[in-house]
Amino acid sequence: MGIYTSIALVLGSISGYVGGHVDNIIMRFTDIIMCFPTFLLIITVAAVLPPNIFNM
């Protein structure tokens, strides 16, 4: 949860400070990420990474 908060804090700060086109790019990227259900992301990561105990 702390990682998500840190990422949100950084992206929100950049977006609020710079604004304009950078704000639109960050917002569209966030919209794309939020469109995918978490389960599909987990399956994708599991398919890309090699199978071992650390990737569980």
Cα dihedral 33, 38, 4, 21, rounded to 10, equals 0
Domain ranges of the chain: 2-55
Closest CA to 26 of 10, 3, 37, 45: 10
pLDDT of residue 56: 67
pLDDT of residue 17: 94
0.85 cut: is pTM over it? no
Four-residue CA torsion sign, 53, 54, 55, 56: positive
pLDDT tens digits for range 1-53: 788 899 889 999 999 999 899 999 999 988 888 887 888 888 888 888 888 77
Residue 42's alpha-carbon distances to 14, 25, 33, 45, 56, in angstroms, are: 28, 25, 13, 5, 10
